[in-house]
């Protein structure tokens, strides 16, 4: 639908997404399967101190029941169009879980969504989160037809702030005491990207090899 007075083209948001794998320059992103449970547990255990600093669901006894519940909920959320979780893999070492990246709707009326991610600690610093974030932004804007995607990053989480900066998110404000982590309410910075900004950045992402 075209709003003639503003020139804005309105495309109804989609809530279904193909489960086919998506490639980035170096990585493969795909939905979770039942056999991802063990690699997921292994990756969480290898990263508890770093993940636990910022993510409320992480604990040292993270085990089979947690991972099975996650994979089951993730499959249901995908089918119901509530959230789309991807396991991040290196095609050369496809049995190793490198991390998670997800996009979900925060408002269907406003065609808004949010991005979340984590990377196993022994693979950080290699640009994996940045590359995966760009690819999932592409899914958000070009396949789900979202209008706006946000990121909430705990104040002090410099690595995640760097991802927002590198990808070109705009810092929009402070969310006070947004998430409870280990008994402490953490302030978060809200970052946002609009569909038109993604379009402007796309050439750069391609040149950098983040999307193909
Ligand atoms: C944040 C996280 C996803 C980053 O993953 P990653 O694959 O290492 O990210 P990238 O390599 O794409 O980019 C990280 C950037 O942060 C920088 N960085 C890392 N630690 C940093 C620190 N302590 N201070 C400043 N910069 C830091 C890196 O140098 C890199 O920037 P550069 O490319 O300019 O050198 C990962 O560390 C993680 O999972 N952390 C715990 C969970 C979490 O915070 N999730 C995000 C919640 S919003």
Atom of ligand 1 nearest to the CA of 132: 12
Q: Which of helix, strand or coil describes residue 171?
A: strand
User: What is the structure's pLDDT at 164?
Assistant: 98
**Under-50 pLDDT residues of the chain:** none
For the chain, give every domain's residue range.
Answer: 16-207
User: What is the structure's pLDDT at 71?
Assistant: 98
Distance 164 CA to ligand 1 centre (A): 10
- DSSP state string for 71-96: HHHHHHHHHHTSEEEEEEEBTTBTTS
Probe residue for ligand 1, chosen from 62, 159, 165, 186 as the CB with the greatest number of ligand atoms within 8 Å: 159
User: What is the structure's pLDDT at 189?
Assistant: 98
Contact between residue 22 and residue 86 where contact means Cβ atoms under 8 Å apart: yes
Q: Is the CB of 189 under 6 A from ligand 1?
A: no
> Is residue 119 packed enough to be buried (19+ CB in 10 Å), middle (13-18) or exposed (0-12)?
buried
> Is residue 12 packed enough to be buried (19+ CB in 10 Å), middle (13-18) or exposed (0-12)?
exposed
- Judge: domain 16-207, CATH 3.40.630.30: yes
User: What is the structure's pLDDT at 4?
Assistant: 81
Q: Give me the count of residues in the chain.
A: 212
Q: pTM for this structure?
A: 0.96
User: What is the structure's pLDDT at 181?
Assistant: 97
The two counts, helices (H) then strands (E), for the chain are 6, 10
How far is residue 64 from each of residues 68, 120, 167, measured CA to CA in Å?
6, 18, 34
Distance 156 CA to ligand 1 centre (A): 11
């Amino acid at each position: 639908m075209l709003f003639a007075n503003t020139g804005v083209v309105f495309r109804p948001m989609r809530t279904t997404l193909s489960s086919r794998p998506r490639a980035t320059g170096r990585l493969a992103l795909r939905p979770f399967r039942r056999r991802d449970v063990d690699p997921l547990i292994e990756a969480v255990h290898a990263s508890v101190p770093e993940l636990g600093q910022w993510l409320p669901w992480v604990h040292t006894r993270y085990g089979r029941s947690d991972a099975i519940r996650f994979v089951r909920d993730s499959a249901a959320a995908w089918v119901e169009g509530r959230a789309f979780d991807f396991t991040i893999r290196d095609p050369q070492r496809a049995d190793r879980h490198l991390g998670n990246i997800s996009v979900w709707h925060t408002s269907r009326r406003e065609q808004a969504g949010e991005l979340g991610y984590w990377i196993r600690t022994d693979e950080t610093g290699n640009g994996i989160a940045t590359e995966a974030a760009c690819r999932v932004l592409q899914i958000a804007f070009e396949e789900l037809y979202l209008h706006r995607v946000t990121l909430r990053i705990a104040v002090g989480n410099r690595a995640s702030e760097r991802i927002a900066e590198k990808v070109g998110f705009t810092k929009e404000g402070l969310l006070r005491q947004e998430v409870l982590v280990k008994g402490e309410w953490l302030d978060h910075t809200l970052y946002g990207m609009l569909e038109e900004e993604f379009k402007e950045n796309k050439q750069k992402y391609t040149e950098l090899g983040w999307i193909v």
